[in-house]
Amino acid sequence: MSFDFKNKVVLITGASGNLGSVLALEFALAQAKIVLASRNVNSLVHLTSKLDAIKAPYVCVELDVKSYDSCERAIDLVIEQFGTVDVVVNNASDCLEGWDLSRMLLENIDAEIHTTYRSVIYTTKAVLPHFFEKQQGVIANVSSISGVSEGSCPIYSADKAAVIRFTETMQPHLSANNIKMTCVVPPNIRFDNLVEQKAVSFKDVAFAIMMQCVSGDNLAMPVVHLKPTHINDGASS
């Protein structure tokens, strides 16, 4: 299946990470104009060289998703650069490992909550006035299997669960304004050894997100759970 995002402006948070990079390239191949949002724009050099190679239009935006002011400035800069924003992919995430709160620093706890969950609220709030004005737009949130199953990092799991519930409860209100909010829930994501790792590929997750960004006639899919086609259960053939 091929996608056509010609002339659509797509902002991707956490663009320097593995999934963010793959998303940027796949949206670019579908002819979108890409906004690479990252706290450290210097970390985007490897990705921008790939976008240059395929002559994709893009802009790099410094964005600290933990700051609402930074989110608002980023949206304003994108509109100034491209005239609009069509899709926001909330991909930025952190993962505070471990369960023992007694050993965790409060600033690390706050950073995890702000980066993984509160950032989704911040970017949504920042872009909604523009989406309301044009009565159109897509917000795609990236959660995790950790948000629906037992995990070893409770704060991260709680944040990813909150992303799912935020999407589910916001979506009906936004749909009334012709704005789509969706959430993709991947399992493990890997580049290779997918069956052995019980994983899907980064490209598969990008495909699922892009599919969610395409408008249907009268279809809402607030939360989509991804699963591997094949899983190696250790049984002999």
121 part of a folded domain: yes
Residue 237: the pLDDT is 36
Q: What does each of the 237 residues of the chain score in pLDDT, given as a tens digit? A: 679 999 999 999 999 899 999 999 999 999 999 999 998 899 999 999 999 999 999 999 999 999 999 999 999 999 999 999 999 999 987 665 656 767 877 888 888 899 999 999 999 999 999 999 999 999 999 998 776 776 767 888 899 999 999 999 999 999 989 999 999 998 777 776 677 767 788 899 999 999 989 876 667 778 888 888 876 665 443
237 part of a folded domain: no
Residue 109: the pLDDT is 87
Residue 102: the pLDDT is 73
Domain that holds residue 19: 9-225
Residue 153: the pLDDT is 76
Domain count, the chain: 1
For residue 182, what is the DSSP state? E
Locus of tokens 């994108």: 78
123 part of a folded domain: yes
Residue 236: the pLDDT is 40
Tokens found for residue 189: 């994501």
193 part of a folded domain: yes
Tokens found for residue 121: 């609220």
232 part of a folded domain: no
The answer to whether 139 touches 180, Cβ cutoff 8 Å, is yes
For residue 184, give the CATH number of its domain.
3.40.50.720
Q: Greatest CA separation found in the chain?
A: 59
235 part of a folded domain: no
231 part of a folded domain: no
d(CA 100, CA 197): 27
4 part of a folded domain: no
Distances (CA, A) of 55 to 18, 124, 166, 206, 227: 21, 29, 36, 20, 33
141 membership: H or E segment, kind and range: strand 137-142
Tokens found for residue 51: 């976008």
Question: Please, which residues have CB within 8 angstroms of residue 91's CB and are 6 or more apart in sequence?
Answer: 12, 13, 14, 15, 17, 19, 20, 23, 142
Residue 96: the pLDDT is 59
